[in-house]
């Protein structure tokens, strides 16, 4: 029976959360479509020992490719393996994480090659008369849409943190099957150099449970140093709005917005951010948004769950002290 196939790139130390989120989507879809089997393709180097965890989180079968060429594979290698596996298994639905590799590269090219319908950056779904309707934001989150992917095969890329992983069930059983890696993929685009940034960038936005973000209202790069301090106390990542990134106060890799990262942490603290649609497209899915702004009429107070009216210079230092006191 045509399956639901999910993808996961693991590392020696861990399974990314996105891999478990996809299994939660797959299980729920499986139930609504009528007991469709869930297969998980698990790629990486030194990942074998993590394979049972995918079963515990919802897979019926794990297809394992543990190979040195998968430590930091070229995009085209992942595309090649993915295409090969999908052609062989002929699943009904392919679920991919909406990240740079799968959402930006593998998903679209795979769909094109297999003449499959594709919906990217999905945040939910509904099953109606056996058809899957994929929910996703459009127009920077100002509207929502249900989209359908037509064809025998459909591909969906799923936004990070839109779904919660299922709790691990150690009693769940399933099959783990090794799959062969085709010898020597020829790649036309290759990584010839990797450069680590000189400056300290702190925690990444994708993984952070808490994000502290600053905007034009911070006034300067120096203003941002207090946000880094607040982030340290909270174990948070630091982000910024487009004006803050364009003025170089935060690196572009930490820009939150329609032209940056789309984030959904459990807590988002926006400081000196007015709440322009460009920014809220990136931050709007956060579970709880806190706004600190001196202008009580700033649009952000219509979009935040909790607000503090006041100048950040006067609010943030005592806020840091309060958190420090709580911890000690």
Is the C-alpha dihedral spanning 46, 79, 41, 86 positive or negative? negative
Judged by CB, which is closer to another protein: 12, or 287?
Answer: 287
Judged by CB, which is closer to another protein: 35, or 220?
Answer: 220
How is residue 100 written in tokens? 């740079």
Task: Scan residues 214-273 and list those touching another protein (CB under 8 A).
Answer: 234, 246, 248, 251-253, 255, 258-260, 266-267
String of contacts with another protein for each residue 12-51, x by CB under 8 A:
----------------------------------------
Quote the least distance from Cβ 287 to another protein, whole Å.
8
8-state DSSP, 206: T
Task: Scan residues 290-319 and list those touching another protein (CB under 8 A).
Answer: 290-291, 299, 301-311, 314-319
Part of the chain binding another protein (CB under 8 A), chosen from 18-26, 103-111, 166-174, 217-225: 103-111
Query: Is residue 323 a contact point for another protein (CB under 8 A)?
Result: yes
Among 55, 210, 256, 270, binds another protein (CB under 8 A): 210
Distance CA 100, CA 102 (A): 6
Among 109, 216, 228, 232, binds another protein (CB under 8 A): 109
DSSP-based three-state secondary structure for 273: coil
Judged by CB, which is closer to another protein: 151, or 182?
Answer: 151
Distance CA 290, CA 301 (A): 9
Q: What are phi and psi of 168, to 5 degrees?
A: -65, 135
Q: Please give the C-alpha separations between residue 156 and each of 34, 151, 153, 260, 277, in angstroms, as whole numbers.
A: 19, 13, 10, 21, 26
Distance CA 150, CA 152 (A): 7
Query: Is residue 1 a contact point for another protein (CB under 8 A)?
Result: no
Neighbours of 151 (CB within 10 A): 12
Query: Which positions ≥6 away from 42 have C-beta within 8 Å?
Result: 8, 10, 19, 50, 51, 54, 62, 63, 64, 65
Among 12, 90, 112, 175, binds another protein (CB under 8 A): 112
Number of chain residues interacting with another protein (CB under 8 A): 86
Query: Is residue 175 a contact point for another protein (CB under 8 A)?
Result: no
8-state DSSP, 142: T
Part of the chain binding another protein (CB under 8 A), chosen from 81-89, 135-143, 169-177, 217-225: 135-143
Query: Is residue 322 a contact point for another protein (CB under 8 A)?
Result: yes
Task: Scan residues 140-169 and list those touching another protein (CB under 8 A).
Answer: 140, 142-151
Judged by CB, which is closer to another protein: 54, or 245?
Answer: 245
DSSP-based three-state secondary structure for 177: strand
Measured N-to-C along each axis, helices 312-327 and 221-234 cross at an angle, to the nearest 10 degrees, of 20
Query: Is residue 127 a contact point for another protein (CB under 8 A)?
Result: no
- Smallest CA-to-CA distance from 250 within 205, 296, 298, 196 is with 205
Report the relative pairing of strands 210-214 and 237-240 from DSSP bridges. parallel
Among 31, 138, 173, 182, binds another protein (CB under 8 A): 138
Quote the least distance from Cβ 104 to another protein, whole Å.
5
Judged by CB, which is closer to another protein: 61, or 258?
Answer: 258
Task: Scan residues 75-94 and list those touching another protein (CB under 8 A).
Answer: 75
């Amino acid at each position: 029976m045509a399956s639901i196939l999910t993808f996961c790139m693991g590392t020696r130390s861990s399974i990314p959360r996105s891999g478990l989120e996809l299994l939660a989507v797959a299980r729920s879809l499986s139930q609504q479509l009528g007991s469709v089997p869930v297969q998980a393709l698990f790629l990486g180097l030194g990942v074998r020992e993590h394979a049972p965890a995918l079963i515990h989180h919802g897979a019926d079968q794990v297809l394992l490719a543990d190979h040195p060429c998968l430590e930091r594979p070229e995009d085209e290698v992942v595309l090649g393996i993915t295409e090969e596996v999908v052609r062989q298994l002929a699943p009904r639905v392919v679920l991919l994480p909406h990240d740079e590799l799968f959402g930006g590269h593998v998903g679209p090219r795979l769909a094109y090659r297999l003449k499959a319908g594709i919906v990217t950056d999905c945040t939910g779904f509904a099953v109606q008369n056996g058809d899957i309707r994929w929910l996703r934001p459009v127009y920077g989150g100002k509207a929502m849409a249900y989209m359908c992917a037509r064809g025998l095969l459909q591909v969906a890329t799923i936004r990070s943190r839109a779904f919660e992983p299922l709790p691990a069930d150690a009693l769940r059983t399933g099959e783990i099957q090794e799959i062969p890696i085709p010898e020597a993929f020829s790649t036309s685009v290759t990584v010839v150099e990797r450069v680590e940034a000189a400056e300290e960038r702190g925690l990444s936005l994708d993984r952070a449970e808490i994000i502290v973000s600053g905007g034009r209202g911070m006034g300067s790069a120096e203003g941002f140093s207090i946000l880094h301090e607040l982030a340290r106390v909270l174990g948070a990542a630091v982000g910024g709005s487009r004006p803050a990134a364009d003025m170089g106060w935060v690196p572009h890799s930490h820009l939150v917005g329609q032209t940056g990262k789309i984030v959904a942490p459990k807590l988002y603290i926006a400081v000196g951010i007015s709440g322009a649609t460009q920014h809220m497209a990136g931050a709007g899915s956060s579970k709880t948004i806190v706004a600190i702004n001196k202008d009580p009429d700033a649009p952000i107070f219509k979009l935040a769950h909790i607000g503090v009216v006041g100048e950040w210079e006067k609010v943030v230092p005592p806020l840091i002290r309060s958190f420090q006191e709580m911890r000690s």
